[in-house]
């Protein structure tokens, strides 16, 4: 009888180890999935924190209706309009075109406002260049595709965009 009891005990023991082996696999798989999901959450949280702590422009970019600027070189300095275009793009203005003014005898930089935008937008643009408000010329004609035309004069070296380059 003892032998029979031992057989039952040993056969019970082998089936018990088989089931415990299956449960160990399920437990291990569940544990691996939990650790993987935890790692994904940590990565997502860190990227979110990084995005909010990353230094950047504090001015909101109005993607639906940005100010478009035509930039014309009015002093004859080669490549000057492209320098200002790069600066204004960094300040989140949309560059409509870059080129030369009809002549190169502009002593002062001027902004030709076509009255397509709110005056606060134009004033912010004027201030971002470091220009006085007397440099804005209102143009009631709806010529051109840009909201404003910036003609860079011989005083370009004193403007904020040029000094920041």
Give the CATH number, domain containing residue 115.
3.30.70.2390
- Evaluate the CA torsion angle 44, 50, 56, 58 in order and state its sign: positive
User: Is residue 63, in this structure, part of any structural domain at all?
Assistant: no
Structural domain boundaries, residue 155: 68-164
Residue ranges in the chain whose pLDDT is less than 50: 1, 3-12, 57-64
CA 120-105-158 angle, to 5 degrees, is 50
Amino acid 60: pLDDT: 47
pLDDT tens, residue by residue, 71-87: 999 999 999 999 999 98
User: Is residue 61, in this structure, part of any structural domain at all?
Assistant: no
Note whether 88 and 109 are same-domain residues.
yes
Count of domains observed in the chain:
2
């Amino acid at each position: 009888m003892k032998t029979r009891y031992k057989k039952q005990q040993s056969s019970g023991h082998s089936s018990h180890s088989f089931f415990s082996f299956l449960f160990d696999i399920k437990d291990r798989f569940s544990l691996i999935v939990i650790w993987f999901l935890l790692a994904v959450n940590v990565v997502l949280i860190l990227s979110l924190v990084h995005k909010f702590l990353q230094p950047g422009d504090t001015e909101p970019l109005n993607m639906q209706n940005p100010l478009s600027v035509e930039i014309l070189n009015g002093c004859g300095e080669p490549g000057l309009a492209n320098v200002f275009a790069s600066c204004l793009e960094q300040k989140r203005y949309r560059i409509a075109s870059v080129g030369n003014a009809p002549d190169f005898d502009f002593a002062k930089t001027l902004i030709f406002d076509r009255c397509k935008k709110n005056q606060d937008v134009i004033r912010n643009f004027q201030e971002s260049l470091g220009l006085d408000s007397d440099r804005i010329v209102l143009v009631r004609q709806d010529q051109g595709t840009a909201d404003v035309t910036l003609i860079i004069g011989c005083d370009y070296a004193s403007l904020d965009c040029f000094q920041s380059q």
